[in-house]
Structure 1
Amino acid sequence: MREQLSWKVGGQQGEGIESTGEIFASALNRLGYYLYGYRHFSSRIKGGHTNNKIRVSTKPLNSISDDLNILVAFDQETIDVNIHELRADGIVIADAKFNPVVTEGYDVRLYAVPFTEIATELGTSLMKNMVAVGASSAILGLDPTSYQDVVEDLFLKKGVSVVEKNMKAIQAGADYFRNEAGVNMPDLLLAPADGKKRMFMIGNDAIGMGAIAAGSRFMAAYPITPASEIMEYMIDKLPQFGGTVIQTEDEIAACTMAIGANYAGVRSFTASAGPGLSLMAEAIGLSGMTEQPLVIMDTQRGGPSTGLPTKQEQSDLMAMIYSTHGDIPKIVMAPSTVEEAFYDTVEAFNLAEEFQCPVILVTDLALSLGKQTVEPLDYNKIEIRRGALQQEGEIPEREDKAYYKRYEVTDSGVSNRVIPGMKNGIHHVTGVEHDETGKPSESPENRVNQMDKRLRKVADLPSLFNNALFINAKHEDADLLVIGVNSTRGTIEEAMPRLEAEGVKVNHAHVRLLHPFPAEEMKKQIAKAKKVVVIENNATAQLANIIKMNVGDVKIENVLKYDGNPFLPGELHQTCKELYHASKELVLDGNI
Structure 2
Amino acid sequence: MINQLSWKVGGQQGEGIESTGEIFSIALNRLGYYLYGYRHFSSRIKGGHTNNKIRVSTTQVRSISDDLDILVAFDQETIDFNFHELRDGGVVLADAKFGPTIPENTNVHLYSVPFTQIATELGTSLMKNMVAIGATSSLLDLDLNVYLNVVEEIFGRKGQQVVEKNMEAIKAGAEFLENQLSEDVKMKLEKADGKQRMFMIGNDAIALGALAGGARFMPAYPITPASEIMEYLISKLPEFGGTVIQTEDEIAACTMAIGSNYAGVRAFTASAGPGLSLMMESIGLSGITETPLVIIDTQRGGPSTGLPTKQEQSDLMAMIYGTHGEIPKIVMAPSTVQEAFYDIIEAFNLAEEYQCPVIFLTDLQLSLGKQTVEPLDYSQIEIRRGNLLLDDELPELENKEYFKRYEVTESGVSPRVVPGVKNGIHHVTGVEHNEQGKPSEVASNRKDQMEKRLRKIKNIQFKTPVYKNVKHEEADLLVVGFNSTRGAIEEAMTRLENDGIKVNHAQVRLIHPFPTDDILPLVQSAKKVLVVENNATGQLANIMKMNVGHADKITNFLKYDGNPFLPHEVHTKCKELFEYGNI
Taking structure 1 as the reference length, what is the TM-score of the superposition? Answer: 0.97
Q: CA deviation at 1:71?
A: 0.1
| Deviation by residue 1:385-418 (Cα, 9 ceiling, x = unmatched) | 0001111222111222211110000000001111
Aligned residue runs from structure 1 range 222-301, under 5 A: 222-301=221-300
Q: CA deviation at 1:104?
A: 4.2
CA distance in 1, matches of 2:105, 2:326: 58
| Deviation by residue 1:215-244 (Cα, 9 ceiling, x = unmatched) | 100001000000000000111211111110
Of the three residues 558, 561, 564, the one matched with 1:560 is: 558
CA distance in 1, matches of 2:376, 2:384: 20
| Deviation by residue 1:28-48 (Cα, 9 ceiling, x = unmatched) | 001100000110000000000
**Are 1:480 and 1:580, in contact at CA under 8 Å, matched by a contact in 2?**
no
Determine what percentage of the aligned residue pairs are the same residue: 73
CA distance in 2, matches of 1:528, 1:316: 29
Corresponding residue number in structure 2 for 1:371: 370
Aligned residue runs from structure 1 range 493-512, under 5 A: 493-512=490-509
Query: Are 1:582 and 2:580 an aligned pair?
Result: yes
Query: Are 1:215 and 2:221 an aligned pair?
Result: no
Corresponding residue number in structure 2 for 1:590: none
Aligned residue runs from structure 1 range 452-491, under 5 A: 452-461=451-460, 464-491=461-488
**Are 2:141 and 2:186, in contact at CA under 8 Å, matched by a contact in 1?**
no
1:40 is matched by which residue type in structure 2? H
Structure 2 residue matching 1:393: 3-state secondary structure: helix
Query: Are 1:381 and 2:404 an aligned pair?
Result: no
Corresponding residue number in structure 1 for 2:567: 569
CA distance in 1, matches of 2:160, 2:193: 30
Q: CA deviation at 1:567?
A: 0.4
Structure 2 residue matching 1:487: 3-state secondary structure: helix
CA distance in 2, matches of 1:27, 1:477: 44
Q: CA deviation at 1:554?
A: 2.0
Aligned residue runs from structure 1 range 383-402, under 5 A: 383-402=382-401
Corresponding residue number in structure 2 for 1:169: 169
Of the three residues 519, 524, 527, the one matched with 2:521 is: 524
Q: CA deviation at 1:186?
A: 1.7
Q: Mean Cα displacement is larger for which, 473-482 or 78-87? A: 473-482
Q: CA deviation at 1:583?
A: 3.0
2:36 is matched by which residue type in structure 1? Y
Structure 1 residue matching 2:580: 3-state secondary structure: helix
CA distance in 2, matches of 1:398, 1:310: 55
**Are 1:329 and 1:458, in contact at CA under 8 Å, matched by a contact in 2?**
yes
| Deviation by residue 1:196-228 (Cα, 9 ceiling, x = unmatched) | 100000000000000000010000100000000
Aligned residue runs from structure 1 range 334-349, under 5 A: 334-349=333-348
Corresponding residue number in structure 2 for 1:327: 326
Structure 1 residue matching 2:324: 3-state secondary structure: coil
Corresponding residue number in structure 2 for 1:437: 436
CA distance in 2, matches of 1:262, 1:103: 60
Corresponding residue number in structure 1 for 2:489: 492
Aligned residue runs from structure 1 range 535-546, under 5 A: 535-546=532-543
User: How many positions carry a matched residue from both structures?
Assistant: 582
Aligned residue runs from structure 1 range 150-165, under 5 A: 150-165=150-165
CA distance in 2, matches of 1:104, 1:369: 36
Corresponding residue number in structure 2 for 1:70: 70
Corresponding residue number in structure 2 for 1:53: 53
| Deviation by residue 1:4-26 (Cα, 9 ceiling, x = unmatched) | 11000000000000000000000
Q: CA deviation at 1:471?
A: 1.0
**Are 1:298 and 1:360, in contact at CA under 8 Å, matched by a contact in 2?**
yes
Q: Mean Cα displacement is larger for which, 98-107 or 163-172? A: 98-107
CA distance in 1, matches of 2:402, 2:366: 46
CA distance in 2, matches of 1:104, 1:185: 21
2:532 is matched by which residue type in structure 1? I
CA distance in 1, matches of 2:87, 2:116: 27
**Are 1:355 and 1:387, in contact at CA under 8 Å, matched by a contact in 2?**
yes
Q: Give 5+ residue unaligned stretches, structure 1.
A: 588-592
**Are 1:63 and 1:490, in contact at CA under 8 Å, matched by a contact in 2?**
yes
Structure 2 residue matching 1:347: 3-state secondary structure: helix
CA distance in 1, matches of 2:472, 2:2: 33
Q: CA deviation at 1:433?
A: 0.2
| Deviation by residue 1:530-558 (Cα, 9 ceiling, x = unmatched) | 00110000000001001011112422111
CA distance in 1, matches of 2:463, 2:560: 30
1:45 is matched by which residue type in structure 2? I
Q: CA deviation at 1:276?
A: 0.4
Q: CA deviation at 1:184?
A: 4.9
Query: Are 1:547 and 2:544 an aligned pair?
Result: yes
Corresponding residue number in structure 2 for 1:449: 448
Structure 1 residue matching 2:60: 3-state secondary structure: coil
| Deviation by residue 1:343-370 (Cα, 9 ceiling, x = unmatched) | 0000000000000000011000000000
CA distance in 1, matches of 2:151, 2:204: 21
Aligned-CA RMSD value: 0.9
Aligned residue runs from structure 1 range 9-158, under 5 A: 9-104=9-104, 106-158=106-158
CA distance in 2, matches of 1:392, 1:150: 52
**Are 2:226 and 2:272, in contact at CA under 8 Å, matched by a contact in 1?**
yes
Structure 2 residue matching 1:53: 3-state secondary structure: strand
Q: CA deviation at 1:63?
A: 1.0
CA distance in 1, matches of 2:224, 2:380: 30
CA distance in 1, matches of 2:402, 2:495: 64
CA distance in 2, matches of 1:214, 1:497: 36
Q: Mean Cα displacement is larger for which, 236-245 or 104-113? A: 104-113
CA distance in 2, matches of 1:85, 1:15: 23
CA distance in 1, matches of 2:470, 2:398: 59
| Deviation by residue 1:119-150 (Cα, 9 ceiling, x = unmatched) | 00110000000000111111111111110111
Q: Mean Cα displacement is larger for which, 54-63 or 200-209? A: 54-63
**Are 1:139 and 1:185, in contact at CA under 8 Å, matched by a contact in 2?**
no
Q: CA deviation at 1:320?
A: 0.5
CA distance in 1, matches of 2:437, 2:17: 55
1:112 is matched by which residue type in structure 2? S
CA distance in 1, matches of 2:82, 2:391: 63
| Deviation by residue 1:405-436 (Cα, 9 ceiling, x = unmatched) | 10000000001111101111111100000000
Aligned residue runs from structure 1 range 344-359, under 5 A: 344-359=343-358
Taking structure 2 as the reference length, what is the TM-score of the superposition? Answer: 0.99
**Are 1:433 and 1:442, in contact at CA under 8 Å, matched by a contact in 2?**
yes
Q: Mean Cα displacement is larger for which, 467-476 or 112-121? A: 467-476
CA distance in 2, matches of 1:254, 1:105: 57
CA distance in 2, matches of 1:42, 1:103: 26
Q: CA deviation at 1:581?
A: 2.5
Q: CA deviation at 1:580?
A: 2.1
CA distance in 1, matches of 2:304, 2:507: 28
| Deviation by residue 1:314-365 (Cα, 9 ceiling, x = unmatched) | 0001010000000000000000000000000000000000000000110000
**Are 2:90 and 2:107, in contact at CA under 8 Å, matched by a contact in 1?**
no
**Are 1:178 and 1:185, in contact at CA under 8 Å, matched by a contact in 2?**
no
Q: CA deviation at 1:578?
A: 0.8
CA distance in 2, matches of 1:408, 1:501: 58
| Deviation by residue 1:478-514 (Cα, 9 ceiling, x = unmatched) | 1101000000011100100101111111011110000
